[in-house]
Amino acid sequence: MQGELNFYYGPMGCGKTRELLKILHSKKEDGFYVGLLKPKVDKKGEDHIVSRDNNRYKVDFLVDKEDNIYMEVCKYLIDNNLDFLLVDEAQFLSTKQVDELSDIVDILNITVICYGLKADFKGELFEGSKRLIEISDNLIEIERQCSCGRKKIYNMRLENNIPVFDGNQIMIDGVEATYEAKCRNCYKKLKKKYNK
């Protein structure tokens, strides 16, 4: 089996973590060794991946921006087997770390499957997502429909149920901020209404 780097992306609430957990269970049932990784900046759940229906799974790798993921996996392989590495909140990784994930695929022949947002609350690419779009073997969009019928692509940030359009790029959903996915058209209308 040849390793691949895959990126599943979509807006908030589209089922990325649910998809990750589905792959986790099916690969384990098929007898594969699966590792879980997430960036430490995602404070929700601390060292666990937490789905919207509150399922919790402890990660094998909790990485800081400076951590070398390739080296962490090499150390892990001394005592463990690994066929698949599933990465939650991959948008928060650095360009260098995404390149390290590609080394895990190309040198160690381990399939890496990443899940994350494509863009932030302003509609701008996250660093990790940008690099994954550039170098992934497969890009898989997980779609969700807006109430108007169009595809959701924006992750609108809310404060006191009011849309906001300025601020830090990274504010964690359910911890520091609230988000609601919208299509481009609805996002633009709300931005025109609230961004005075």
The strand pair at 152-159 and 162-164 is best described as antiparallel
pLDDT of 174:
62
Q: What is the pLDDT of residues 109-137, one digit of tens each?
A: 999 999 999 999 899 999 999 999 999 99
Q: How many CB atoms lie within 10 A of CB 8?
A: 24
The strand pair at 34-39 and 61-63 is best described as parallel
% the chain with pLDDT above 70? 97
pLDDT above 80 for 146: yes
Q: For the chain, how many helices (H) and strands (E)?
A: 5, 11
Q: How many CB atoms lie within 10 A of CB 35?
A: 23
The DSSP code sequence of 49-95 is: EE-TT--EEE-SEEE-TT--HHHHHHHHTTT---SEEEESSGGGS-H
46 given a catalytic annotation: no
Alpha-carbon distances of 112 from 7, 25, 179, 191, 193, rounded to whole Å: 9, 15, 27, 37, 42
Let me know if 10 is exposed, middle or buried by CB neighbors in 10 A (0-12, 13-18, 19+).
buried
Q: What is the pLDDT of residues 19-62, one digit of tens each?
A: 999 999 999 999 999 999 999 998 777 888 887 777 788 999 99
- Among 1-5, 143-147, 175-179, whose mean pLDDT is lowest? 175-179
Side by side, which strands form the sheet with 152-159? 162-164, 152-159, 178-183
Give the pTM. 0.91
Show the domains of the chain with their CATH numbers.
5-141 (3.40.50.300), 152-194 (no CATH)
165 — pLDDT class (breaks 50, 70, 90): confident
**SS3 state at 25:** helix
pLDDT above 70 for 92: yes
Q: How many CB atoms lie within 10 A of CB 95?
A: 14
What average pLDDT score do residues 75-99 get? Answer: 97
| Set 89, 141, 143, 180: catalytic member | 89
